[in-house]
Chains A and B, each alone.
Chain A
Amino acid sequence: MENQKIGCYICTGCGIGDLLDIKLLEDMATKESRIPVVRTHAFLCGEEGLTTIRHDMQNEAVNTVVIAACSPRVHVETFRQLEAPLLDRVNLREQVIWVQHLKEEDDKDVFEEDRQMAAEDYLRMGCAKVKKMDPPEPFDDPGLSKTIMVVGGGVSGLTAAKEAADTGYDVVLVEKDAELGGRVAQMLKVSPVKPPYDQLEQPPTAALIAAVEGHDKIKIYKKATIKETTGAPGLFDVKIEYGAGEYSTGEDSTGEDSTGEDYSTGEDSTGEDSTGEDSTGEDSTGENSERIGAIVVATGYTLYDETKLTHLGHGTSPDVITAWEFEQMAKAGNIVRKSDGQPAKRVAFSLCAGSRDVQHLEYCSGACCTYSMKQALYVTEQYEDASTFLIYQEIRTPGQMEDFYRKVQNEGGVFIKGDINKVASGSNGGLTVDINDKLLRTPESLDVDLLVLATGMMPNIDTTDPNQETDLSASDANSVLNLQYRQGPSLPLLKWGFPDSHYICFPYETRRTGIHAAGPVRRPMGISSSMTDATGAALKAIQTVESIGRGAAVHPRVGDLSYPSFRVDGCTQCKRCTEECPFGAINEDDKSNPLFNPTRCRRCGTCMGACPQKIISFSNYSVDMISTMFKECEIPEEDEEKPRILIFACENDAYPALDMIGHNRGILTPYIRVVPLRCMGSMNLVWVADAMSAGYDGVLLMGCRHGDDYQCHFVRGSALAETRLNKVAETLDRLQLESERVKMIEVNIMDSDILPDKINAFVDDLEAFGPNPFKEF
């Protein structure tokens, strides 16, 4: 940073002043690190402490603040108030004085010396770090749009569109069919979506469609497909091909303006006009381009193929039908045996038909318990002497649906836990269903008129086989969005083909920034949940366009203004960054150079870690910055027998876990030096080589769990770090060092109790190799 003036503030509160030699720290900062303003204060986080710093910022032109006190994870807001252009924290409390406690067997002088050395090293690193930082300049673009595009006009999409528009955002709604409403609109009734949650209701779609079609902020494309989606959040350009004449604001299309008619606002088209091939005919199509800020994907679900359910009797008799067929039958007001048209008064429902079954869909489809209960009520409503049987594995009625479950029981629905062994045509025309009754613990045989299979849900997105693990870069000819991304046109999918990034930590977020999934395409769910979900996704989309408007990251580094820059002239076109970015943020230009899209970026630094040329860096985070930091630490001479272990800790999970050891006053070896990383993915192998040449005896990497049930905040960062590390043996061999000196472990935020042992085990292992021979250089 130009005209940088650093102020270093050492807090003596919280026991820091009692346990460390503050004078020595001050001297070190002044003389060794050459910090012009160095002060101590007994209570930096208090108003008086802050005033001291503010005073220096005003009168001494201090523009970079180093706070040597508690963990960067506490008092975040306190120090943010200073509005310092650059600020960094040195963690003397949680990771020095709170984790080093004199044990009986320790020599007091040695113990104190070790602790002081750790404090000094952390301060050195802090001072070195800020010298390598520049204040981030937020990304801006005059073309940024805050319009939200919703793909899918079913109950989820309608809700998302309405909620976003009601909040004041322009919405573009794209529906592939000629009518809005999706599946729900085709239902007779729906399970309750409002209190007291025990009444069947009319499908909510009619009211939603009316609200959406009459909304002046919503533009609707029907019979539409998305030809391509180029650009990035805030700057998406979406080409929509739509059917003409399907919907108009009033007057019929005369053919003069083939684009103006198909969306409800009737405003002029904003993008390219239709190609106008055949603008008068009913079947003619138009094409339009929209500038979009964020996208909500609400494409719903497909039902599992019932013909695969022969074990549940499908195909044995026309009286074994799917729930969707039954719905249409009930809607026609005629619940009868399909075989002979006799009234169907005894109806059995086979729940989990194809769900929770390793042969079919391994997951619970979430809604079939509830919709089967709804359908049981249809029978009771039509026939006074109806008997309904719900054959289940477990009943899963999440949320308020428990009340509905009670209602159905009270109406006489009989629930039978068990497996269907055999379905055969009965003697008197109906069906005989043999059940292994797990409640009675006996085989039972049930005579019914109809057996309804409650088939499960599969996400309606770019995938063919949900059992097939989908490759991250899977391309798909039938892609919904047709993304023009280097990594392929499709959204990356989780295990069963759902395009989410993490159900619990980051709901609604796909692995493409600014594209949010809602409703059953995100995970299987019913109507009430879908409406809640769509509202959540709409909010998330709003958060996206607003954050991008400020040049800030949306998630998980909410508000981060920094983003990587590429010194392209040094690029060897190795493509590592474009391939490894977990979010597909980097395209390639015609010369195969990386073409970065700042608004797609989640600022993890995985690209920076991947780049062998070290040409990718953030203004406040770079390969050079981290190297300089750990090289600042004093490495004791070999004969002092004080090993040094460098720990790279993911700042999302591992670093807080280390802090928690301090909060619990646990013990950590004084030989470690911890450097937090944005994500393990940003770990550049150069650091390992540098650390070894600098004389560290070992390097321990602490990343999040990876694999199918990953916990990495950036999805693939820790997995990629592990892959890179496999190559490290090579580097170490070149240095003639044992490759076991570098190790990666998975650390969960809850691991503070086992972490000291894991670290100690590593230290013990290193002892076997003896000191790093590079120390002497």
Chain B
Amino acid sequence: MAYDLSFAKDVYENAEEGHWIKMCMQCGVCAGSCPLGPHWEFSPRQLFQMIRAGKAEEVLKSESMWMCVSCYHCMVRCPRGLPITHIVHGLARFAVEKKRADKDQVTRRFAKILWENMERGGRIGEMALTTKLYMVNGIPDGVKKGMEMKDQAMSMLKSGRLKMDPLHLSRIRGHAGFKAMLKKAREIEQKKRES
């Protein structure tokens, strides 16, 4: 049934900043402000109305919320003060939680690799990250890309912009503390979810 509000209520309550969605007045300023707007299947405005209309599958399976580059243009402009950027990321995460998001979605994949890399050393290990990203489509493709970029890589190495650490062994100072901090954050998040 159209405009069955149960999905909307789920989003309002369980997606990050989801309760804001009901305040959208559909002016379209966000859609007009987004530098990636033309590439989205649904603009934030459309996503929000689809949520109210109960179009759960279309929203959750959509690629749209994965397109956001966090430029915050929409958010500073929204006349209703919606934290759009946060909502959009919240929806992406909500889609993951609802197991509707495509595993091979490039942004999703990139986000995962980036996060794991960062968590390992406490900061980005560029060499390991680049290698991993180059290899996502298989080793031959990765080698080819690596060869194409080797001149840049060499000069970056020489100027000290890239650290020689292919196995990603470097750790930040206080790495244990960093890990503990993340653990705590996860616990808090979990508790929030359970309540």
**Which residues of A are at the interface with B, using a C-beta cutoff of 8 A?**
387, 389, 395, 405-406, 409-410, 412, 414-417, 437, 439-440, 444-447
9 CB < 8 A contacts A-B: A387-B3, A395-B25, A406-B23, A414-B8, A415-B25, A416-B3, A437-B53, A439-B46, A440-B49
Within 8 A of A (CB), among B1-16: 1-3, 5, 8
- Whether the pair A440, B46 counts as a contact (CB closer than 8 A) is yes
- The contact of B2 among A409, A415, A445, by CB within 8 Å, is A445
- Whether the pair A447, B49 counts as a contact (CB closer than 8 A) is no
Chain A CB within 8 A of B30 CB: no
Closest partner residue, chain A, to B49 (CB atom):
A439
Residues of A within 8 A of B22 (CB): 409-410, 412, 414
**Which residues of B are at the interface with A, using a C-beta cutoff of 8 A?**
1-3, 5, 8, 22-23, 25-26, 45-46, 49-50, 52-53, 55, 80
Query: Bound state CA distance, A417 and B49, in angstroms?
Result: 10
Query: Bound state CA distance, A418 and B1, in angstroms?
Result: 17
B145 shortest CB reach to chain A, Å:
40
- Whether the pair A444, B2 counts as a contact (CB closer than 8 A) is yes
Given contacts A406-B23, A417-B26, A439-B26, contact A412 B53 (CB under 8 A): no
- Whether the pair B3, A444 counts as a contact (CB closer than 8 A) is yes
Closest partner residue, chain B, to A405 (CB atom):
B25
Residues of B within 8 A of A409 (CB): 22-23, 25
> Which one of B3, B25, B53, B55 has the highest number of Cβ atoms from chain A below 10 Å of its Cβ?
B3
B117 shortest CB reach to chain A, Å:
40
Residues of A within 8 A of B80 (CB): 406
A401 shortest CB reach to chain B, Å:
13
Q: A414-B5, A440-B46, A447-B2 are in contact. List 6 more A-B contacts (CB 8 A).
A: A389-B3, A409-B23, A409-B25, A410-B23, A439-B49, A444-B2
Query: Bound state CA distance, A387 and B53, in angstroms?
Result: 12
Closest partner residue, chain B, to A443 (CB atom):
B2
Closest partner residue, chain B, to A408 (CB atom):
B22
- Whether the pair A414, B23 counts as a contact (CB closer than 8 A) is no
Query: Bound state CA distance, A440 and B8, in angstroms?
Result: 15
A596 shortest CB reach to chain B, Å:
56
B41 shortest CB reach to chain A, Å:
13
Residues of A within 8 A of B8 (CB): 414
B83 shortest CB reach to chain A, Å:
15
Residues of A within 8 A of B23 (CB): 406, 409-410
- The contact of B52 among A395, A405, A406, A414, by CB within 8 Å, is A414
Number of A-B contacts (CB under 8 A): 41
Residues of B within 8 A of A446 (CB): 2-3
Q: Which 3 A-B pairs have the closest CB atoms?
A: A444-B2, A439-B49, A387-B5
Residues of A within 8 A of B55 (CB): 440
Query: Bound state CA distance, A446 and B50, in angstroms?
Result: 14
Query: Bound state CA distance, A188 and B45, in angstroms?
Result: 35
Closest partner residue, chain B, to A412 (CB atom):
B22
Closest partner residue, chain A, to B48 (CB atom):
A439
Residues of A within 8 A of B26 (CB): 415, 417, 439
Given contacts A410-B22, A417-B26, contact A440 B53 (CB under 8 A): yes
**Is chain A's binding surface mostly helix, strand, loop or mixed?**
strand
Closest partner residue, chain B, to A444 (CB atom):
B2
Given contacts A410-B22, A410-B23, A415-B25, contact A447 B1 (CB under 8 A): yes
Residues of A within 8 A of B46 (CB): 439-440
Query: Bound state CA distance, A417 and B2, in angstroms?
Result: 14
B146 shortest CB reach to chain A, Å:
45
Residues of A within 8 A of B3 (CB): 387, 389, 414, 416, 444, 446
Query: Bound state CA distance, A470 and B5, in angstroms?
Result: 48
Query: Bound state CA distance, A389 and B22, in angstroms?
Result: 12
Query: Bound state CA distance, A685 and B120, in angstroms?
Result: 96
- Whether the pair B53, A444 counts as a contact (CB closer than 8 A) is yes
Query: Bound state CA distance, A511 and B85, in angstroms?
Result: 55
Query: Bound state CA distance, A412 and B6, in angstroms?
Result: 12
Residues of B within 8 A of A405 (CB): 25
B96 shortest CB reach to chain A, Å:
25
- Whether the pair A412, B5 counts as a contact (CB closer than 8 A) is yes
Query: Bound state CA distance, A251 and B129, in angstroms?
Result: 96
B108 shortest CB reach to chain A, Å:
26
Query: Bound state CA distance, A439 and B53, in angstroms?
Result: 10
Query: Bound state CA distance, A130 and B103, in angstroms?
Result: 92
Closest partner residue, chain A, to B20 (CB atom):
A410
Query: Bound state CA distance, A440 and B52, in angstroms?
Result: 10
A387 shortest CB reach to chain B, Å:
5
B65 shortest CB reach to chain A, Å:
17
Residues of A within 8 A of B50 (CB): 440
Residues of B within 8 A of A414 (CB): 3, 5, 8, 22, 52
Query: Bound state CA distance, A389 and B1, in angstroms?
Result: 14
Closest partner residue, chain B, to A386 (CB atom):
B5
Closest partner residue, chain B, to A441 (CB atom):
B46
Query: Bound state CA distance, A447 and B25, in angstroms?
Result: 23
> Which one of A395, A405, A414, A437 has the highest number of Cβ atoms from chain B below 10 Å of its Cβ?
A414
Query: Bound state CA distance, A445 and B4, in angstroms?
Result: 11
B69 shortest CB reach to chain A, Å:
25
Residues of A within 8 A of B1 (CB): 447
Query: Bound state CA distance, A440 and B47, in angstroms?
Result: 9
Residues of A within 8 A of B45 (CB): 439
Closest partner residue, chain A, to B58 (CB atom):
A440
Query: Bound state CA distance, A389 and B26, in angstroms?
Result: 15
Residues of B within 8 A of A447 (CB): 1-2
A309 shortest CB reach to chain B, Å:
22
> Which one of A405, A440, A444 has the highest number of Cβ atoms from chain B below 10 Å of its Cβ?
A440
Query: Bound state CA distance, A415 and B23, in angstroms?
Result: 10
Closest partner residue, chain A, to B53 (CB atom):
A440
Query: Bound state CA distance, A389 and B8, in angstroms?
Result: 14
Query: Bound state CA distance, A444 and B8, in angstroms?
Result: 17
Residues of B within 8 A of A416 (CB): 3
Closest partner residue, chain B, to A437 (CB atom):
B53
Closest partner residue, chain A, to B22 (CB atom):
A409
A576 shortest CB reach to chain B, Å:
55
Query: Bound state CA distance, A387 and B22, in angstroms?
Result: 13
Residues of A within 8 A of B2 (CB): 444-447
Residues of A within 8 A of B53 (CB): 437, 440, 444
B12 shortest CB reach to chain A, Å:
8
Closest partner residue, chain B, to A434 (CB atom):
B2
Query: Bound state CA distance, A741 and B144, in angstroms?
Result: 87
A417 shortest CB reach to chain B, Å:
7
